[in-house]
Amino acid sequence: MNKPTRKRDWQLLYSFIVFIVLASLDNAAAGVLPPLYAIISRNLGANDAALGGVTAVYLIIVALSAIYWGYRGDRTKRKPLLFYGTLLWGAAMIFTAMSLTFTQFLIFQMVTAVGVGGISSVGFSVVSDIIPVPRRGMALSLWSISQGIGAAGGALLAGTLGALNWRLPFLVIAGLGFLFAILYLFTREPQRGQSQPELTAVFARGGHYNYRIRRRDIRQILRQRSTFWLLWQSFFYSLAFGSTLWVPRWAIARVQAEGYDLSTATIVGNLFITVFSVGAFFAIAAGYIGDHWQRHNPKGRVYLGLIGLFGAMPFFILLFFTPLKGVEIPVDGNFLALVTAVFLNLFTNPWVIFAFLVAFAAIALQSTDPPNWAAMITDVNLPEHRGTVIGISRLFRAVGNALSVGAAGFLITSLAADYPSPDNYAITLAAFQFLVIPAGFCYYKVSQNIVKDRTAVTNTLKARAETAVSP
């Protein structure tokens, strides 16, 4: 390997790492709120339903802004968009932390959402141009894990620093956002389409892929059958799993049911959720399996997604009805003492051990979906369409998430009279799992179209490569 090639590879690796971290931070910005519902509601005079509404509106605004950012990124240089988007949501997080009223809190969270939308769509477009097609599933598994880690990290900050002062997690995440915005200035933006094998010869001779999205292309994107069903699959997936934003609140309620106060339960409940979420790392294996299966069967990713969806459902339902009996936590213990107690329970308390194993199986199976879904929608769309289509998918996901979070919050509140906490949380979360069934049907429809649609993209790129003009 010559020095220019080695330098270029290191530049791409650095860019990929920075994008992965940025993707985790935008999810941390969203994940920090649900674990703090109880504390913020007490401080700002709002109830759980109102704060659930904030999350729902936040998700919708992220999606709408993602469409705009994605479309602009498919037409222009993507680096400036990502930089200014990061500065925007970082500044808004600082103002969120300074909010003195619920109205101020709502406004600054909405501004945060506008900036976060850029990372989700434009960042995805850039990553799809960095990673070669044969390793696309593996790389996108890291992208999806980073989002899970970000959400878990936001929840952990909320449950630790936030239990002492709910404003601190917002300031920490904003600070990290500014740091990586600066690091992002040193990244190398890949050329659009450079990861496509059909265009290798074009770039080898110094040519460029000059195609950009046009407004009329959006209709073409939405009419393609694989993309159509993948978008609806993402809606029903979000409708089923969006409600899991209430899982930290479920865990807190489980700990409170053992007689602990809200502050202690907030820390301990979120620590349990963080530990229970390690199954998400199975996404790396799922990405590899998807790449391997895809090479041997053109429908391999779809089949893997179906297995993961239907396999996870019974484990999630079982988890939500599992109590955390006999949890032993030191009263008035410091944070280190609480962390130690949580890990001791993980090895000595049979109820906690059982809950961990069930959660691991549920989340590991669920984690097969995001990287393989992302690889599929990348494969069936042209390079200049990918930022826009991911932006559109964020709208489908946001509507699903918003309906799920909002409806779950309403149902939790409605059930509270007849089914006191934590039973109201368990019943609600379990009910939403049955929405996995229509998500699976959408994958069945994808399986009927994906081979044809992927071939059409390949043929288009080959034709464009033959007519491309070199410098």
Task: Provide the pLDDT for residue 111.
Answer: 92
Report whether pLDDT(94) > 90: yes
Domain contains 237: yes
Report whether pLDDT(1) > 60: no
DSSP structure string for 160-215: HHHHH-TTHHHHHHHHHHHHHHHHHTT--PPPTTTT-GGGHHHHHTT--------T
Of 35 and 445, which is predicted with more confidence? 445
Domain contains 101: yes
Domain contains 193: no
Domain contains 199: no
Q: What would the pLDDT profile of 333-380 be if each residue is shown by its tens digit? A: 787 888 899 999 999 999 999 999 999 999 999 999 988 999 999 999
Ranking 185-194, 256-265, 285-294, 300-309 by mean pLDDT, the lowest is 185-194
Distance CA 266, CA 260 (A): 10
Task: Provide the pLDDT for residue 468.
Answer: 60
Domain contains 92: yes
Q: What would the pLDDT profile of 152-165 be if each residue is shown by its tens digit? A: 788 778 877 887 78
Distance CA 393, CA 218 (A): 13
Of 174 and 11, which is predicted with more confidence? 174
Distances 6 to 128, 169, 241, 290 between C-alpha atoms, Å: 20, 39, 42, 28
Evaluate whether 366 touches 292 at the Cβ level (below 8 Å). no
Report whether pLDDT(310) > 90: yes
Ranking 3-7, 213-217, 290-294, 347-351 by mean pLDDT, the lowest is 3-7
Question: For the chain, what percent of residues have pLDDT higher than 70?
Answer: 96
Task: Provide the pLDDT for residue 228.
Answer: 97
Domain contains 466: no
Ranking 40-49, 99-108, 438-447 by mean pLDDT, the lowest is 40-49
Task: Provide the pLDDT for residue 438.
Answer: 97
CATH of residue 405's domain is 1.20.1250.20
Distance CA 145, CA 140 (A): 8
Q: What would the pLDDT profile of 372-412 be if each residue is shown by its tens digit? A: 999 999 999 998 898 899 889 988 988 888 789 889 988 99
Domain contains 195: no
Taking the CA atoms of 242, 145, 83 and 376 in sequence, report the sign of the dihedral they define: negative
Distances 63 to 57, 60, 115 between C-alpha atoms, Å: 10, 5, 11
Domain contains 197: no
Evaluate whether 127 touches 146 at the Cβ level (below 8 Å). no
Residue 326, classed as helix, strand or coil, is: coil
Average confidence score pLDDT of the chain: 86
Is the backbone peptide bond immediately before 383 cis, with ω within 30 degrees of 0? no
Of 2 and 370, which is predicted with more confidence? 370
DSSP structure string for 409-430: HHHHHHHTTTSTTTHHHHHHHH
How far is C-alpha 105 from the chain's CA centre?
23
DSSP structure string for 44-87: HT--HHHHHHHHHHHHHHHHHHHHHHHHHHHHS-SHHHHHHHHH
The pair of structure tokens assigned to 16 is: 């990929």
Number of domains in the chain: 1
Task: Provide the pLDDT for residue 335.
Answer: 78
Range of the domain at 270: 7-188+221-457
Distances 284 to 90, 140, 142 between C-alpha atoms, Å: 29, 9, 6
